[in-house]
Amino acid sequence: MNRRVLRKIKNGAFLSLSLVATLTGLACLAAILWTLISHGVSGMSGRLFTQMTPPPGSQGGLLNAIYGSGVMTLLGILIGSPIGVLAGTYLAEYGRNSRLSLTIRFINDVLLSAPSIIIGLFIYEIVVVRMGHFSAIAGALALAVLAIPVTLRTTEDMLNLVPIGMKDSSAALGAYPWRTILSVLYPAARSGIVTGLLLAIARISGETAPLLFTALNNQFWSTRLAAPMANLPVVIFQFALSPYNDWQDLAWAGALIITVTILVLSISARVLLALLQAQRGS
Amino acid sequence: MAIIDPRHAAKQLIYERIFRSATLIAAVLVLLILGGVAVSLLRGAWPALAHFGFSFVAREIWNPVTDQFGALAPIYGTVMTSAIAMAIAVPTGFGIALFLTELCPPLLKRPIGVAVELLAAVPSIIFGIWGLFVLAPVLQRHIQPWMIRVFGDLPAIGHLFKGPPYGIGILTAGVVLAIMVLPFIAATMRDVFDTVPPMLKESGYGLGATTWEVIWNVVVPHSRVGIVGGIMLGLGRALGETMAVTFVIGNAHRISSSLLAPGTTISSAIANEFTEAVGDMYTSALIALGLLLFLITFTVIAAAQAMLRRLERRSGAVV
């Protein structure tokens, strides 16, 4: 009898601990979001989107940084995602279980969680050193390298979900694989692949470490891809660690902008995926 | 019935070859990137490695003025912060995974799971400023003085909690890292727990076991490989994490006996000093740090992936 009570107590204790762990995790998320909102909203103003990053002690905005982040993220996706999608297509349709495919799949999963600062050093060595100076294009390349594994993984997974019958029907009509892939598989897996793109954008738009020694930063408005370009993450890094209140306020506002953007992207990716699954189910 | 035009068929074949090669090139590019990373880091690090030899990883000195560099302090910082992070995040992640798979009302399962995954999507720089402006002051004012009072005089571990409460330092960096890797560990463990066949669990319950006994004696042994894989995936993240740590580590190139003192890690040393490094040896020493980080994280992540793969194959075989 006593033993039974003990077992029940032990059971209750561990289950309560797991509840506490979950509440702790949720509390962390809530605390971070709350801090961002309470600090960031006070810094929100029209100036953010119309003025450049200011010198210490004067007021300004984040226009050049927002523009730079947008340009480099866009370029990164434009360069990285076609490579990721094509490579994912190879793994799902052509390579399948060949030794090469198994290796690539493994290496891709390693790249997926490799430290982004290493990618920054890599691009520094092969682009910045050659060009002799920091540039927006180097930043975009670093982001592209980070986008490839994400798009590759989702593309392969999504192509594998397409019912085999669709592929067979196309082949039975005499279509070569490339026709089948472009006209049947890609359209069927479209929302899945778009989900991958959204996740990749979410992943790279908040990256700071790989931009530190590729795009660097620029206090002024610049549209030249061969020159250093301002970007939100590096501006946040510099401004948050500065002793100036104006700069710190801007850093919080920038942090809020980035986080909201990324959360919206991640949530839309999830919604899209849920819709896709509902469609499959019916 | 139309007869197939041979010219059309030949054209189709050419397109097929082009498309196939394009996908193959893209796939091989992934391998080339990893190879390129290794080669370029090795080349950049070579001057420092050739000059300092093995003593590079064994010396604590880091003096840009006299061009003397050793990686011991950043290695120590990286290992300690990751160890603290894992000590906090593994039990907590286990608890969250357990809650989500065994206890959670079905209605809440998805929202809580999504919330945990969203925590993973928050960029690391956000954790950094949050750690610096919110967490560090709380630790400095409330937690660290308490730790010094309670643990500071204990034998054996007392020295870890000596000295003034700086707020920023190894301990704070470890706590921020723990929060960062928590969602990865929790999500992987949840997925692994979900692969346990319900039949096994039901058998446990049928024998009269409590929920905890089923988890500890059925679910955990069955998913052991996956649990370790998930932990190592989290460890890989923690070892290489840069921005969150850089804000709260204090950037001091020395090894203190106290966890409350400022230190440095491999990634934060690179992030802080790389653009300001003057002199070829200084830059090369920082790239050598990057090479070390690459080797460490590559080993850990590759081992984690190998474990998770083994599990995938096994559960695939069962179904």
Read off the pLDDT of residues B109-149 as tens digits, 9 standing for 90 and up.
888 888 888 888 899 999 999 999 999 999 888 888 888 88
Average pLDDT over residues A141-157: 95
pLDDT, position B225? 85
CA angle in degrees (0–180, nearest 5) for B181-B183-B185: 70
pLDDT, position A1? 61
Alpha-carbon gap, residue A166 to A157, rounded angstroms? 16
pLDDT, position B9? 81
Q: What is the DSSP string of B100-158?
A: IIIIS-HHHHHHHHHHHHHHHHS-HHHHHHHIIIIIHHHIIIIIHHHHHHHHTTSTTTG
Reported pTM: 0.90
Q: What is the DSSP string of B53-82?
A: GGGGGT---EETTTTEE--HHHHHHHHHHH
Cβ neighbours, 10 Å, residue B279: 11
Supply the ipTM of this predicted assembly. Answer: 0.88
Q: Which residues of A touch B239 (CB under 8 A)?
A: 115
Average pLDDT over residues A180-197: 91
Specify whether the CB–CB gap between B267 and B244 falls below 8 A.
no
Domain range annotation of chain B: 69-280+291-318
Structure tokens at A244: 């100036």
Average pLDDT over residues A161-182: 91
- Give the nearest chain B residue to A87 (CA atoms): B27
CA distance A47 to chain B (A): 22
Nearest to A145 among B33, B182, B210 (CB): B33
Percent of chain A with pLDDT over 90: 56
Per 3-state DSSP, what percentage of chain B is helix, strand, and coil (rounded to 5)?
A: 80, 0, 20
Please name which of A150, A111, A114, A143 lies closest in space to residue A212, comparing C-alpha atoms.
Answer: A143
Q: Which residues of B touch A238 (CB under 8 A)?
A: none
pLDDT, position B3? 63
Position A155 pLDDT exceeds 60: yes
What mean pLDDT is reported for chain B?
88
Read off the DSSP letter of residue A46: G
Range of A16-20, A58-62, B160-164, B312-316 with top mean pLDDT: A16-20
Position B151 pLDDT exceeds 70: yes
Nearest to B129 among A29, A116, A251 (CB): A251
Average pLDDT over residues A111-116: 89
Alpha-carbon gap, residue A220 to A236, rounded angstroms? 15
Alpha-carbon gap, residue B33 to A112, rounded angstroms? 12
- Give the nearest chain B residue to A152 (CA atoms): B27
B124, B125, B268: which to substitute to probe chain A, counting the most A Cβ within 10 Å? B125
Contact B123 A207 (CB under 8 A): yes
Position A282 pLDDT exceeds 60: no
Read off the pLDDT of residues B282-316 as tens digits, 9 standing for 90 and up.
999 999 999 999 999 999 999 888 888 887 776 65
Contact B27 A95 (CB under 8 A): yes
Position A279 pLDDT exceeds 80: no
Contact B240 A202 (CB under 8 A): no
CATH architecture, domain B69-280+291-318: Orthogonal Bundle (1.10)
Position B1 pLDDT exceeds 50: no
Name which of B24-33, B97-106, B259-268, B306-315 the model is least confident about. B306-315
Read off the pLDDT of residues A58-94 as tens digits, 9 standing for 90 and up.
788 899 999 999 999 999 999 999 999 999 999 999 9
Please name which of A32, A29, A57 lies closest in space to residue A256, comparing C-alpha atoms.
Answer: A32
In chain A, what's the furthest Cα-to-Cα distance? 79
Count Cβ–Cβ pairs < 8 Å, chain A vs chain B: 264
CA distance A269 to chain B (A): 11
Q: Which residues of A touch B126 (CB under 8 A)?
A: 32, 36, 206, 255, 258-259
Read off the pLDDT of residues B198-228 as tens digits, 9 standing for 90 and up.
999 999 999 999 999 999 999 999 888 889 8
pLDDT, position A97? 85
Percent of chain B with pLDDT over 70: 97
Contact A32 B130 (CB under 8 A): yes
Confidence of residue A281 (pLDDT cuts 50, 70, 90): low
Position A277 pLDDT exceeds 80: no
CA distance A41 to chain B (A): 15
Contact B309 A106 (CB under 8 A): yes
More confident residue, A44 or B45: B45
**CA torsion through residues B256, B258, B262, B267, sign:** positive
